[in-house]
Structure 1
Amino acid sequence: MPAPAGAERSSLLKLYLGRGVLAVAWALAFASAHDSHGSLGALAITLLVAYPLIDAVSSLIDLRLLADGSERRVTLLNGVLSALAAVGVGLAGAGGAAAVLHVFGAWTVVSGAAQVLIGLRRRGPELGKQWPVLIAGGLSFLVGIFYNIQAAGDAPSLDVLSVYATGGGVFFIVQAALLGWRARHMRPQVV
């Protein structure tokens, strides 16, 4: 059973804010944990596995709000694929930066497409129009293609992942702020 609009907005605000803050924190941790020359230690691989798991858990939390239908199926699929991406990135870590970029890139293409589809379904004014989520999803899709191109090149680098996570985190924080602003302006005025 779907949540009423006010409860859904409140739940999404918390989810988006938490997801955004975690993404920015992850970016800071990963920037200092990985060697920009391509070698990956245990901490860097652990962080690489954790990032898609954040998306998987977020998808599962989001499922509580959704009625049966296409949005729920896309969210569930995204959660499952994100969990599989975590495993794939962990295994790819042994192969170095190029292998990680290929797996991470494939995941961001699929995850970005799912994010755009879900954002389009939530475009109503009561959920803040979802522009930051739509932009983040579209960029994720495009960046995933770029990661796979970069992985096939001569000097693949994981430095781009911190930038990606920071950007995504900021978009989620902005969406949470818009939901909070919308909630304040939709409250009945007491005179």
Structure 2
Amino acid sequence: MSTNTQSSRTPLADNPRSSLLKLYLGRGILAVAWAAAFSVNHDPLDAPAIILLAVYPLIDAVSSLIDYRAVTNESQRRVTLFNGVLSTLIAITLGVAGANGAQAVLHVFGAWAVISGVAQIVVGIRRRSPELGTQWPMLLAGGLSILAGIGHNTQALADQPKLGILVLYTTAGGVFFIIQAGLLARRARLARTQIA
């Protein structure tokens, strides 16, 4: 009887982990790919660079939409929805800021990094559970995002600000998502081993 109960609960337990694993892995790979593309297309700040700038927050917005549909916890859904709407607005704002130069871009990107970093920490804290783990890569990434956002705004005050700093920021963010996906995959393997 207890064996049947365990096996019937296992797929339900794996669903949030599995969907998050795919989401984090895809989000991480896209961030690293974006960083590679932007590293060779940001100087000068022309139309292709501005398009890339607008695309990055749209990746986040789509990820938030996917996450929103998968999450059942209302408080997590509210934060996820907020992050998706914010990222969409930032995409539009970056398109406009790009026409005004690197300083404007860094200010917008910096403000977004701070706000989304706080949101990421909130979601990471609320997702801490035996099934999903401690979420330390997401918590660490959120904290570093806040610091990076402050750094972007500081860099924007320089005489000749450089957008190359965004490559490091987005690469690091992508790596943290990939690490979190790896930890979720490891936790899923351990859970399957224990059941077997």
**Partner of 2:128: helix, strand, or coil?**
coil
RMSD: 1.3
| Larger mean Cα displacement after TM superposition, 77-86 or 60-69 | 60-69
Q: Could you say which residue in structure 2 is the equivalent of 1:47?
A: 52
Q: Could you say which residue in structure 2 is the equivalent of 1:107?
A: 112
Distance (Å, rounded) in 2 between the aligned partners of 1:4 and 1:53: 30
CA shift at 1:52, angstroms?
Answer: 0.5
1:31 alignment partner AA: S
Q: Could you say which residue in structure 2 is the equivalent of 1:170?
A: 175
Taking the TM superposition and a 5 Å limit, the aligned residue runs for 1:3-82 are: 4-35=12-43, 39-67=44-72, 69-82=74-87
Q: Could you say which residue in structure 2 is the equivalent of 1:93?
A: 98
Structure 2 residue 92 is matched with structure 1 residue 84: no
Structure-2-length-normalised TM-score:
0.91
Distance (Å, rounded) in 2 between the aligned partners of 1:26 and 1:86: 14
Distance (Å, rounded) in 2 between the aligned partners of 1:125 and 1:143: 30
Count the aligned residue pairs.
185
CA shift at 1:153, angstroms?
Answer: 2.2
Distance (Å, rounded) in 2 between the aligned partners of 1:65 and 1:23: 21
Which runs of no fewer than 5 residues in structure 1 stay unpaired? none
1:148 to 141, 147, 153: 153
2:123 to 96, 118, 124: 118
Q: Could you say which residue in structure 1 is the equivalent of 2:138?
A: 133
CA shift at 1:69, angstroms?
Answer: 2.0
The answer to whether the Cα contact below 8 Å between 1:45 and 1:93 also exists between their aligned partners in 2 is: yes
CA shift at 1:57, angstroms?
Answer: 0.5
Distance (Å, rounded) in 2 between the aligned partners of 1:59 and 1:84: 13
Identity across matched positions, percent: 64
Distance (Å, rounded) in 1 between the aligned partners of 2:76 and 2:61: 15
